[in-house]
Amino acid sequence: MRLGVTGCGAMGRPMAERLIAAGFEIVGHDVRPAAEFGGFARHMTPDPAELSRCDAVISVVRDAAQTRDAIRAIGNLPPVLIISSTLSPRFIRELREEVPAAIAMIDAPMSGAPHSARDGRLSFMLGGPDDAIDRLMPAFRAMGGVIHRLGPLGAGATAKVLNNFVAATCVAAVRTVLDQSGPLGLDPARLRAVMDTSSGGTWYGQNLDRIDWAAETYDASNTIGILEKDVTAYLDAITEGGSPDALTAAVLERLRTLPPLP
């Protein structure tokens, strides 16, 4: 099977590398020049139209605008379009109306951060037609340790934005209390050890030493900025573009003002 990957960044590239290791032929494309990809450059093409010759294309770009741009750049889409970016399910439904009906669409967002992508242990949340998912299941198994089949198109995106709202809340809470522990006379490392074995344990807190972006403060272009984008996708899903409630507003504000990791 020949698969295209558009968006070969922190997640897309290790996903593509796992597919290559599993025997898939990969054609990658990114807005950055191939020279920046070292040995992976031989799998890259500067022409996104090359992805139209694949059996399926996986989109792992940042947001809704980049997703539309990537699809437009490919032109004639291959038989299956897989959306692995974290996007509002409302946008996924809109995209289904824009993509030709003959193209099968799967929403396949994933969780686990780059270290899980490198290890092939991502958790995938799949929505879409069963026959298309069945055909692509070997690819998902090559990239993921846990595969959730959730129902029709949009179900994966729904699960992902709800999951990521919880994750964003945990990032905000963990960073806040670690910043507060020192002034209160408790070594942040000791607090981490307590939380890891107590009710304050979270995926983010327990993996601080493994998560590539764990110590980042807010920048619109980094992973904390992407997490902010994910919360706005959650907001779009539950309010159809409306205003945030107090909790959502507080999480967004804390993400934008995260203190440095002690």
CATH number of domain containing 99: 3.40.50.720
Q: What's the pLDDT at 241?
A: 74
CA dihedral in degrees (151, 155, 156, 159; nearest 10)? -120
CATH number of the domain to which 177 belongs:
1.10.1040.10
Q: Could you tell me the pLDDT band of residue 155, with boundaries at 50, 70 and 90? A: very high
- Which is nearest to 233 in space by CA: 69, 33, 67? 67
Q: What's the pLDDT at 29?
A: 97
Give, in order, the Cα–Cα distances in Å from 61 to each of 53, 109, 246, 254. 20, 11, 30, 25
Q: What's the pLDDT at 34?
A: 87
Q: Are residues 113 and 31 in the same domain?
A: yes
Q: Are residues 12 and 100 in the same domain?
A: yes
State the total domains in the chain: 2
Distance of alpha carbon 96 from alpha carbon 190, whole angstroms: 49
Q: Are residues 7 and 65 in the same domain?
A: yes
Instruction: With respect to residue 146, please indicate whether it lies within any of the assigned structural domains.
Output: yes
Q: Are residues 139 and 179 in the same domain?
A: no
Q: pLDDT (tens digit, 9 = 90+) per residue, 61-94? A: 999 999 999 999 999 999 999 999 999 999 999 9
Instruction: With respect to residue 231, please indicate whether it lies within any of the assigned structural domains.
Output: yes
**Total Cβ atoms within 10 A of residue 76:** 10
What are the backbone dihedrals phi and psi of residue 108, each rounded to the nearest 5 degrees, phi first? -135, 55
Domain boundary among 152, 182, 216: 152
Instruction: With respect to residue 261, please indicate whether it lies within any of the assigned structural domains.
Output: no
The domain in which residue 237 lies consists of 158-256
DSSP letter (8 states) at residue 62 = S
Q: Are residues 27 and 102 in the same domain?
A: yes
Q: Are residues 145 and 197 in the same domain?
A: no
Distance of alpha carbon 175 from alpha carbon 214, whole angstroms: 9
| Whole-model pTM over 0.85 | yes
Domain boundary among 126, 152, 178: 152
Domain boundary among 110, 131, 152: 152
**Total Cβ atoms within 10 A of residue 19:** 24
Distance of alpha carbon 187 from alpha carbon 128, whole angstroms: 48
Q: Are residues 179 and 227 in the same domain?
A: yes
Q: pLDDT (tens digit, 9 = 90+) per residue, 175-217? A: 999 999 999 999 999 999 999 999 999 999 999 999 999 999 9
Strand ranges for the chain from DSSP E: 2-6, 25-29, 56-59, 80-83, 104-107, 110-111, 122-127, 144-151
Query: Which has more pLDDT, 40 or 34?
Result: 40
Q: pLDDT (tens digit, 9 = 90+) per residue, 100-135? A: 999 999 999 999 999 999 999 999 999 999 999 999
Q: Are residues 106 and 199 in the same domain?
A: no
Instruction: With respect to residue 222, please indicate whether it lies within any of the assigned structural domains.
Output: yes
Distance of alpha carbon 51 from alpha carbon 128, whole angstroms: 21
Q: Are residues 9 and 123 in the same domain?
A: yes
Q: Are residues 50 and 136 in the same domain?
A: yes
Distance of alpha carbon 177 from alpha carbon 189, whole angstroms: 11
Q: Are residues 111 and 176 in the same domain?
A: no
Instruction: With respect to residue 262, please indicate whether it lies within any of the assigned structural domains.
Output: no
- Which is nearest to 88 in space by CA: 233, 229, 241? 233
Q: Are residues 85 and 117 in the same domain?
A: yes
